[in-house]
Amino acid sequence: MSKPELFLAYPQLEKTIPFIPMGSYPTTVEKMTKLGEKLGYPSLWVKRDDLSSTKLGGNKVRIMEFLLAAMKASGKTVAISPGALGSNQILASGIYGHDLGFKIVGVFFKQCPTDYMCKHMMIDKTMGVEFNHVNSPYLVPFVILYQFLKNFDWGKMQFPFYIPTFGSSATCALGYFNAMFELKKQIAAGLLPEPDYIFVTAGTGGTMAGIQLGTKVLGMKTKTVGVRITDYVACNERIVASILNRAVKHLRKGGAALPELRFKKSDISMIHEFFGGEYAKITDEALAAKKLVSEIENLTLDTTYTAKTMAAMIKYLKDHDLKDKNILFWHTYNTKDLTRFLDKNLGGKDLPQPFQCYFK
């Protein structure tokens, strides 16, 4: 798909909102029959955004299509991208930014060790990402400010582009607002019933906001339920409502004939108790959900994001009498093989000294 569904619905946005195609759409929807039988839910589905492009899967692909396009349209060539050591955002920024000739300045903060963390950092290195280490996520804003000043373009008199981690932007929400038009077409084609509930990971809120905005604008009965996997200060109901309101304003400013929607904190449904207390911390519930889905549905989840979301969804279904409802799990983590992005000549010793300890 070269033109997003969003532009087909609102043609005027093609002139006002930059877009660069990166994904392979539509991503498939599949019925999780075996898991549904085990849980007692006959209409349990998954949206396979883990396979959202030929290069990299996961939710970041849809987001980068709008973010990096906005960066290109601005004329900027340097972007500040903060995230944890194994950040999917920095990874996607690096892979797609490399293709566009952008310099990505990564601001990395510590996280609990995971099986993908070092691999992601080595891909970042291969893609030319600049490494800056921060001991605490609370110091990240100060390092970002320093990098903004350091990378100021005196010739063009402009600061670098910012790829947000804390508090997703209105632009971030566009990727999944667009995805809802895709899902609506799949429903109309009879590929799945209209969901009563969509369960999705909530990291900084942009993906969840885009989905919820889509259900509202498209007149769907669907309730969006986000599962928080980051600190409360980085993701909560108030933040998601704010992203929604900014996205509406951004779309209306761009020429979309949207009503003057206003979202409140009380409009947002979020599950908080599966975070684990620290970003990327592996929980027993996540491990159990990962194992269950792998064995029953041959579906790969990760312990930081999607396994926690699956665990939360399973408990939610057990706690509520929803057996007659249509349930959709939106798979947002990459399951594509990324080995081809690794440079076999590089190792942990090739990273700046503060990062080398993670490879021991």
Q: Mutual orientation of helices 170-188 and 60-74 as an angle, nearest 10°?
A: 130
- pLDDT, residue 329, reads 99
Tell whether the model's pLDDT for residue 359 goes beyond 80. yes
Q: Mutual orientation of helices 88-99 and 60-74 as an angle, nearest 10°?
A: 50
> Does pTM top 0.95 for this prediction?
yes
Three-state SS for 44?
strand
Tell whether the model's pLDDT for residue 1 goes beyond 90. no
243 φ, ψ (degrees, to nearest 5): -60, -45
Q: How many CA atoms lie within 13 A of 59 on its CB side?
A: 29
Tell whether the model's pLDDT for residue 22 goes beyond 90. yes
For residue 154, the tally of other CB atoms under 10 A from its CB is: 6
Interatomic CA distance for residues 226 and 111, integer angstroms: 22
Interatomic CA distance for residues 118 and 86, integer angstroms: 7
Write the burial class of residue 298 (CB in 10 Å: 0-12 exposed, 13-18 middle, 19+ buried): exposed
**What is the DSSP secondary-structure string of 293-334?**
HHHHH-----TTTHHHHHHHHHHHHHHS--TTS-EEEEE-S-
- pLDDT tens, residue by residue, 280-332: 999 999 999 999 999 999 999 999 999 999 999 999 999 998 999 999 999 99
Question: Domains (ranges, CATH) in the chain?
Answer: 5-58+173-331 (3.40.50.1100), 60-167 (3.40.50.1100)
- pLDDT, residue 278, reads 95
Q: Which residues contact 130 (CB under 8 A, 6 or more apart)?
A: 103, 104, 105, 106
- pLDDT, residue 167, reads 53
127 φ, ψ (degrees, to nearest 5): -80, 0
Tell whether the model's pLDDT for residue 27 goes beyond 60. yes
Closest C-alpha among 193, 192, 212 to residue 202:
212
- pLDDT, residue 253, reads 97
Tell whether the model's pLDDT for residue 42 goes beyond 80. yes
- pLDDT tens, residue by residue, 257-280: 999 999 999 999 999 999 999 999
The answer to whether 332 and 207 are in contact (CB under 8 A) is yes
Task: Measure the N-to-C terminal CA separation of the chain; round to a whole number of Å.
Answer: 43
Three-state SS for 207?
helix
Mean residue pLDDT across the chain: 96
> Taking phi first (over 0 means left), then psi (-120 to 50 degrees means alpha), and beta for anything else, what does residue 166 get?
beta
297 φ, ψ (degrees, to nearest 5): -115, 0
